[in-house]
Amino acid sequence: MDLTKIGDLVARQSYNQDLTFRVEALDRNRAIIKGTEFRLLADAPVYDLIPVTSDIATGKAKEARIKAEESLQRLNKDRQSLEEQNRAILGAGRSVITNDPSAQSYFEVPGKVLHLDGDPLYLKKSMDLYEKLRIPAQGHYINEKAMPDALYRLLPNVRPDIVVITGHDGVLKNRLRSDLYSLSSYKNSRSFVEAVQVARQYERNFDSLTIVAGACQSHFEALLQAGANFASSPGRILIHALDPVYIACKAAFTSVRGTINITDVLKHTISGIQGVGGIETRGSYRIGLPKFQDLNKLNVVPSVM
């Protein structure tokens, strides 16, 4: 008697238990399963699934968790390096530096992110990372096909510096190799392309609005041609759930004075250069002076009746 239930963590025996999935739905003898680390939505016969415990990652999932932690450490290291660079740049202006050399005498304005995600669980993971890194971000769970219309509404209101358009995608089964050139061979790439076109019509300057688009096995070339700065998936491979977020974070904390180090950012994504690619793009991060003060501690003499 099969005991597989919705919400169970499972792996597929036929794939040598390479990925960890969560059971999303059951229909007779088949299950809809969603990758816990990779943006993969699939179906599988129930008999092919074996349970895994929440504290044990299998195969590629285990490797992905390690790489995800390394990527987060890299982002934190880059943040520390950026703070040191800012202090060095401002060091010449003695009048704006406090007597305490360890004090931050400026304020930061990271790029603002608008994140559209076709998966609520991955959206939550993404928003948690933005919050951890103190990046201003607004997230919306939106079905992939509704994303173009949603951007018409959201872009003028949010006015982001960076847009992330992601969710679920994939090459449809029983397609010939030559069909990879056609958008009809992909589950949601056409919707992603249309969403990118909407965003690029809103802001045509590639340095004023950075667009990160795509998911697992997305039509990389079509997304770039539509106007994305970064996109998945050059090698038509599965991408990690946080790869688009990692790129958005790099854009948010790269100075407007320079361009995002494209070799560095792609090398340190979890899926690597076969999972994500892009074009040279200017950063969205700014600093300002003076540092915001605690208004409760200011001794202000009122000047207006």
CA distance 191 to 207: 23
In a domain, 294, yes or no: no
Amino acid in position 192? F
Q: What is the DSSP letter of 22?
A: E
CA distance 82 to 89: 10
> Global pTM?
0.84
What pLDDT does residue 200 have?
98
Instruction: Looking at the structure, tell me whether residues 15 and 114 fall in a common domain.
Output: no
In a domain, 183, yes or no: yes
Both tokens of 176, joined, read 């010939």
Of the candidates 204, 235, 199, the one whose C-alpha atom is nearest the C-alpha of residue 217 is 235
Instruction: Looking at the structure, tell me whether residues 80 and 223 fall in a common domain.
Output: yes
In terms of phi and psi (left: phi > 0; alpha: psi -120 to 50; beta: otherwise), the region of 170 is left
Of the candidates 236, 295, 305, 300, the one whose C-alpha atom is nearest the C-alpha of residue 271 is 236
Instruction: Looking at the structure, tell me whether residues 39 and 73 fall in a common domain.
Output: no
Instruction: Looking at the structure, tell me whether residues 70 and 37 fall in a common domain.
Output: no
129 in Cβ contact with 139 (< 8 Å): no
Range of the domain at 175: 62-288
CA distance 106 to 286: 10
What pLDDT does residue 185 have?
93
CA distance 84 to 91: 10
Between helices 147-158 and 189-202, what is the axis angle to 10°? 30
Instruction: Looking at the structure, tell me whether residues 81 and 153 fall in a common domain.
Output: yes
Both tokens of 202, joined, read 């809103």
Instruction: Looking at the structure, tell me whether residues 280 and 141 fall in a common domain.
Output: yes
CA distance 211 to 113: 10
What pLDDT does residue 209 have?
97
9 in Cβ contact with 53 (< 8 Å): yes
In a domain, 239, yes or no: yes
37 in Cβ contact with 57 (< 8 Å): yes
HSE at residue 111, side-chain half, CA atoms within 13 A, is: 29
1 in Cβ contact with 19 (< 8 Å): no
Q: Which domain CATH number covers 270?
A: 3.40.50.280
Q: What are the pLDDT tens digits along the chain (305 aa)?
A: 457 888 888 888 888 887 888 898 888 888 888 888 787 788 888 989 988 876 555 556 666 666 667 777 777 777 777 777 777 777 655 444 444 544 557 888 999 999 999 999 899 999 999 998 899 999 999 999 999 999 999 999 999 999 999 999 999 887 766 689 999 999 999 999 999 999 999 999 999 999 999 999 999 999 999 999 999 999 999 888 889 999 999 999 999 988 988 888 887 788 889 999 999 999 999 988 888 888 888 888 888 87
Instruction: Looking at the structure, tell me whether residues 136 and 87 fall in a common domain.
Output: yes
Both tokens of 149, joined, read 């219309």
Instruction: Looking at the structure, tell me whether residues 171 and 219 fall in a common domain.
Output: yes
In a domain, 1, yes or no: no
Instruction: Looking at the structure, tell me whether residues 20 and 73 fall in a common domain.
Output: no
HSE at residue 144, side-chain half, CA atoms within 13 A, is: 19
Task: Scan for tokens 């993971």, then name that residue.
Answer: 125
What pLDDT does residue 97 have?
44
CA distance 148 to 200: 11
What pLDDT does residue 288 have?
86
228 phi and psi, to 5 degrees?
A: -75, 145
Instruction: Looking at the structure, tell me whether residues 232 and 219 fall in a common domain.
Output: yes
In a domain, 297, yes or no: no
Rounded (5°) CA angle 260-264-269: 105
Instruction: Looking at the structure, tell me whether residues 113 and 241 fall in a common domain.
Output: yes
CA distance 243 to 202: 25
273 in Cβ contact with 266 (< 8 Å): yes
How many domains, in total, are found in the chain?
Answer: 2
Contacts 24+ apart (CB under 8 A), 26-34: 31/4, 34/119, 34/121
Helix (H, G, I), strand (E, B) or coil at 167: coil
In a domain, 173, yes or no: yes
In a domain, 3, yes or no: no
Instruction: Looking at the structure, tell me whether residues 130 and 18 fall in a common domain.
Output: no
What pLDDT does residue 216 have?
92
89 phi and psi, to 5 degrees?
A: -65, -40
Between helices 120-132 and 243-252, what is the axis angle to 10°? 30
In a domain, 295, yes or no: no
